Amino acid sequence: MADTTIGTRDERGDWRPYVMDVPAPLRWPPQPAALFKYMFGWPGYIWPWNTFYLGVAVVTWFYLTPALATMQTFAVWWIAVIFARNLALAVLYFGGWHAYLYIFKVQGDDYKYTTRPLAKNNKYFTFNNQVLDNMFWTLASGVTIWTAYEVVTLWAFANGFLPFVELRTNPVWFVVLLLLVPLMREIHFYLTHRLLHWKPLYELAHKLHHRNVNIGPWTGMSMHPIEHIIYLSGILLHWVIPSHPIHALFHIQHAAISPAQGHTGYERVAIGKRGLSFGTYAHYLHHKYFECNYGGDGLPLDALFGTFHDGSDDATERMNRRLQERQWAKQGV
């Protein structure tokens, strides 16, 4: 399937879908059948992406995490194990998508939002190179802060400081919480993302992420350390909500590695007859226009707060009008 079957590319090389598929949770009035399909169909809320990230958490908990009892005391060896595991996850996942799409160019520019290459010899980026810049902030800051949150949380679980729930004693809540983690992530992301667009925080921290107007997989976690601290803080919800360590791992790993998928710069990966959607056009528009699509597609938060952009000219006009009205309000006009 060629990208022109579901979208169009203009003379500048920018691609957009003919129709932006509004996810079922965003539709009004509500459509129960569409919502059910979104929850349980393919692709949808459960399959394939959230199931994949849950699978990563399950594997890392059972095979790549020291026994909980050994983490009652901080020790260099087990902290190093977790850091090395997280570093490997980041390199494999972010690097894997980058290699597939940008080094080997397996599908060329099919479904790519812009044909413009990632920046080189650009003083705007660390090392004058967009990819090296993104890798540095992802690995040096992102993996370190991700590991710090995880280490303290596992230590707190090991010492009984956090409300603990087990599958065998409370199976219903255990499963329900697994289903809720992506929604918790989305609410937290929307709220903190809006916070990061507050001008003082934007200039101090979030501006680093937004110098990536043209995005690639490594862009996803390329953030200032202050933004990493805010963005990854969703794991703290499991300090107050009765949870198992696997819920906390699922939460922070979802936050840490899913941005690779969200920033590929492609609408879908060309696998099979129809391809597999990344579901990232809305976030691509956020990097293009800055003041729209702060959340994901699991909850209608952008639609609710008037910040949803579907890529149309009408949506751009509404966004510009909203920003102008906000500017007038500041000036007392």
Residue 262 lies in a domain: yes
Asked if 114 contacts 214 with a C-beta cutoff of 8 angstroms, the reply is yes
User: Up-side HSE of residue 77: CA atoms within 13 Å toward CB?
Assistant: 6
Q: Are 238 and 162 in contact (CB under 8 A)?
A: yes
Residue 282 has which token pair? 């809305």
CB-CB contact of 18 with 126 (8 Å): no
Mean pLDDT of the chain: 93
Q: pLDDT > 70: what percent of the chain?
A: 97
Q: What is the pLDDT of residues 10-58, one digit of tens each?
A: 999 999 888 776 667 767 778 888 888 888 888 889 999 999 999 999 9
Say if 12 falls within a structural domain.
no
Residue 34 lies in a domain: no
Element (H, E) at 61: helix 49-63
Q: What share of the chain is helix, strand, coil (3-state, %, to 5)?
A: 60, 5, 35
* 71-117 pLDDT tens trace: 999 999 999 999 999 999 999 999 999 999 999 999 999 999 999 99
Is a pLDDT exceeding 90 seen at residue 137? yes
Structural domain count, the chain:
1
Does residue 246 register a pLDDT over 70? yes
Element at 17 (helix H, strand E): strand 15-17
Q: What is the three-class DSSP state of 332?
A: coil
Is residue 16 classed as helix, strand or coil in its secondary structure?
Answer: strand
Residue 36 lies in a domain: no
What is the tens place of the pLDDT at every residue in 295-326?
987 777 888 888 988 888 888 888 888 888 87
Determine, yes or no, domain membership for 269. yes
Q: Report percent pLDDT > 90 for the chain.
A: 74
At 73, is the secondary structure helix, strand, or coil?
coil
Q: CA nearest 235: which of 134, 139, 157, 135?
A: 157
Q: Is residue 113 part of a domain?
A: yes
d(CA 6, CA 2): 8
Cα–Cα distance, 224 to 206 (Å, whole number): 7
Q: How far apart are CA 208 and CA 8, in angstroms?
A: 31
Residue 324 falls in which region: left (phi positive, over 0), alpha (psi -120 to 50) or beta: alpha
Q: Is the pLDDT confidence value at 271 over 90?
A: no
Residues linked to residue 97 through DSSP beta bridges, in sequence order: none
Mean pLDDT of 163-178: 97
Token code pair at residue 26: 């965003």
Q: List, in order, residues 6 or more apart from 93 with CB less than 8 Å away.
A: 257, 260
2 within domain boundaries = no
Cα(216)–Cα(218) distance, integer angstroms: 6
**Residue ranges making up the domain that contains 217:** 44-331
Residue 192 lies in a domain: yes
pLDDT of residue 173: 98
Give residue 27's pLDDT.
73
In this model, does residue 1 exceed pLDDT 60?
no
The values of phi and psi at residue 259, to 5°, are: -60, -20
